[in-house]
């Protein structure tokens, strides 16, 4: 009895659904679905069809960014080893050979340690440059002739005589001019 | 952008537009919503047509897309529907009312739609796909990824729940 009632109820529901479907389908068939969906797909495709450069811009940028980041991390994580040929020492030798720097004496504690770079080579360059700047400033203030070993070329006896002769001539001329000016 | 072969596959899919529409109708309760949802389904299918590995299973795949699209849509609209349930049902049904249709049919349809909406998700999808999409038990099982026996038991429970709910709704209106 109950089963029959259930069957009748199901049939009733199935009939309702059939009716609902028929009504909706009738309406659906009237509207041109194919045309609508094609227009919508075309609109979406136009939006997605961007120039190649613009499409590649973001992925390429991201890849580059990752590569730079990876490179930076690699450099940071890499153990620092001493450079061949002595590293900072070699640098000092090269810098010492440069004119103007070769005459500088490098005091070890000239600069406070806190402000100095930690890297060996950078520390050497920084010390040399700071010292050169300080010395130049001192020269400008005091107008003192720089001390230190000056290389003097060796002269022959004849050359020395020539210089002395010229020196005496200039001295006499200057003295005679001085006397004349006193008389005037 | 689909290839030529995929484009052809998409054209084949267009043969099932009415099936997709009916499934969407079962989930959405409103023919115009169902049409919008059908468009969404085909748009999604167009974008993902390359994922079909077995062309003979196009209908199942398409109905699965339809079911997922409808469930997503329902999820989005759940809160709004909670507040506007009654008005939306009456509005949707008033829109499809034909002059020759008796008022009683509309009342029963309204009750049916509400009953379907009240079903739990698992029962609702089986009910809609079977009764609106006319899908066989075997296809249903494959589409939902469940056993045929589970499909049958869920469908039975759904039918019974809908029948009871419709009866209650109509009895309530008659007495009220």
- The residue-averaged pLDDT of A54-80 equals 87
- Residue B99: its pLDDT value, please? 39
Asked if B109 and A33 come within 8 Å (Cβ–Cβ), the reply is no
Q: What is the mean pLDDT of residues A43-55?
A: 71
Query: Do the domains spanning B4-75 and B100-175 agree at the CATH topology level?
Result: no
- Compute the C-alpha angle B58/B64/B69, nearest 5°: 125
Other C-beta atoms within 10 Å of B157: how many? 16
Helix (H) or strand (E) holding A38: helix A33-48
Over 80: is that where the pLDDT of A60 sits?
Answer: yes
Q: How near does any CA of chain A get to the CA of B111, in Å? A: 10
Q: A28 exposed, middle or buried (CB, 10 Å; 0-12, 13-18, 19+)? A: buried
Residue of A nearest to B30 (CA): A24
Residues of B in contact with A12 (CB under 8 A): 163, 166
Region of A31 please: left (phi>0), alpha (psi -120 to 50) or beta.
beta
Instruction: With a cut of 90, say whether residue A65 has pLDDT above it.
Output: yes
Give the contacts of A87 (CB within 8 A, at least 6 positions apart).
Answer: A120, A121
Mutate to test the interface with B, among A9, A22, A37 (most CBs of B within 10 A): A37
HSE on the CB side for B34, CA within 13 Å?
29
Q: How much is the average pLDDT of A149-171?
A: 85
In angstroms, the Cα distances linking B176 to A131, B164, B165 are 104, 18, 16
pLDDT in tens, A117-128: 666 666 777 777
**B46 contacts A20? CB cut-off 8 A:** no
Burial (CB count within 10 angstroms: exposed 0-12, middle 13-18, buried 19+), residue B26:
buried
CATH fold of B4-75, please? Rna Polymerase Sigma Factor; Chain: A (1.10.1740)
- How confident is the model over B116-174, as pLDDT tens digits? 888 898 999 999 899 888 888 988 898 888 999 999 999 999 988 988 888 887 777 66
- d(CA A45, CA B1) in angstroms, rounded, equals 8
Task: Specify the CATH number for B100-175; select among 3.40.50.300, 3.40.50.1220, 3.10.129.10, 1.10.10.10.
Answer: 1.10.10.10
- Which is more confident, B95 or A112? A112
Q: Which residue has the higher pLDDT, A145 or B151?
A: B151
Mean local confidence (pLDDT), B20-44:
89
Which residues does B90 contact at the CB level (< 8 Å), separation at least 6? B110
CA distances from A52 to A56, B2, B3 (A): 6, 17, 18
Structure confidence at residue A119 (pLDDT): 63
Tally of CB atoms within 10 A around B154: 22
C-beta atoms of A6 and B22 within 8 A: no
DSSP code of residue A11? H
Highest mean pLDDT among A23-37, A71-85, A90-104: A23-37
For B18, the closest of A20, A25, A48 (CB atoms) is A25
Domain residue extents for chain B: 4-75, 100-175
Task: Give whole-number Cα distances, B136 to A113, A138, B41, B71, in Å.
Answer: 85, 101, 21, 21
Look at A42-46, A147-151, B135-139 and tell me which has the smallest mean pLDDT: A147-151
pLDDT number for residue A127: 79
Q: How far is CA B35 from the centre of its chain?
A: 11
At residue B96, does pLDDT exceed 50?
A: no
The CA dihedral of B119, B120, B123, B129, to the nearest 10 degrees, is 70
Which pLDDT score, from 0 to 100, does residue B147 have?
92
A16/B108 touch (CB, cutoff 8 Å), yes or no: yes
- Within 8 A of B132 by CB-CB distance, chain A residues are 17, 21
Give residue B55's pLDDT: 66
Handedness of CA B19, B23, B25, B28 (dihedral sign): negative
Cβ(B111)–Cβ(B169) under 8 Å?
yes
Give burial (CB, 10 Å; 0-12/13-18/19+) of A90.
Answer: middle
pLDDT value at position B38? 92
As given in the structure block, the two tokens for residue A28 are 């659906």
Is-contact A13 B166, C-beta < 8 A? yes
Rounded (to 5) percent helix, strand, coil in chain B = 85, 0, 15
Please give the pLDDT value at position B95.
Answer: 43
Which stretch of B21-35, B96-110, B135-149 has the lowest confidence by average pLDDT?
B96-110
Tens of pLDDT, residues B39-94: 999 999 888 887 777 766 888 888 889 989 988 887 777 656 555 655 555 544 44
Who has greater pLDDT, B25 or B91?
B25
């Amino acid at each position: 009895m109950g089963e029959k009632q259930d069957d009748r109820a199901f049939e009733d529901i199935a009939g309702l659904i059939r009716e609902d479907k028929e009504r909706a389908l009738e309406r659906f068939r009237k509207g041109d679905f194919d045309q609508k969906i094609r227009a919508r797909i075309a609109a979406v495709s136009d939006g997605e069809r961007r120039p190649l450069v613009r499409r590649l811009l973001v992925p390429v940028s991201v890849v580059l960014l990752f590569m730079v980041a990876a490179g930076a991390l690699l450099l940071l994580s890499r153990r620092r080893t001493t450079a061949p040929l002595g590293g900072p020492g070699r640098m000092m030798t090269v810098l010492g050979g440069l004119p103007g720097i070769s005459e500088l004496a490098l005091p070890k504690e000239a600069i406070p340690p806190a402000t100095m770079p930690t890297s060996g080579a950078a520390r050497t360059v920084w010390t040399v440059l700071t010292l050169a700047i300080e010395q130049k400033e001192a020269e400008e203030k005091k107008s003192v002739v720089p001390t230190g070993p000056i290389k003097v070329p060796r002269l022959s006896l004849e050359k020395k005589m020539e210089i002395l002769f010229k020196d005496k001539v200039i001295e006499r001329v200057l003295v005679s001019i001085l006397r004349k000016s006193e008389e005037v | 952008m689909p290839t030529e072969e995929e484009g052809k596959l998409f054209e084949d899919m267009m043969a099932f537009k009415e099936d997709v529409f009916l499934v969407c109708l079962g989930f959405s309760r409103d023919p115009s919503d169902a049409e919008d949802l059908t468009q969404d389904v085909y748009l999604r299918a167009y974008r993902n047509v390359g994922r079909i590995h077995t062309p003979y299973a196009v209908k199942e795949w398409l109905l699965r897309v339809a079911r997922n699209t409808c469930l997503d849509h329902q999820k989005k609209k759940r809160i709004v529907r909670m507040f506007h349930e009654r008005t939306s049902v009456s509005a949707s049904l008033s829109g499809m009312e034909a002059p020759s249709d008796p008022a009683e049919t509309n009342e029963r349809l309204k009750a049916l739609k509400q009953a379907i909406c009240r079903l739990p998700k698992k029962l609702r999808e089986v009910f809609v796909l079977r009764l609106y999409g006319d899908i066989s038990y075997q296809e249903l099982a494959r589409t939902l990824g469940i056993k045929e026996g589970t499909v049958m038991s869920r469908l039975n429970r759904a039918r019974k729940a809908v029948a009871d709910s419709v009866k209650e709704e109509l009895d309530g209106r008659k007495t009220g």
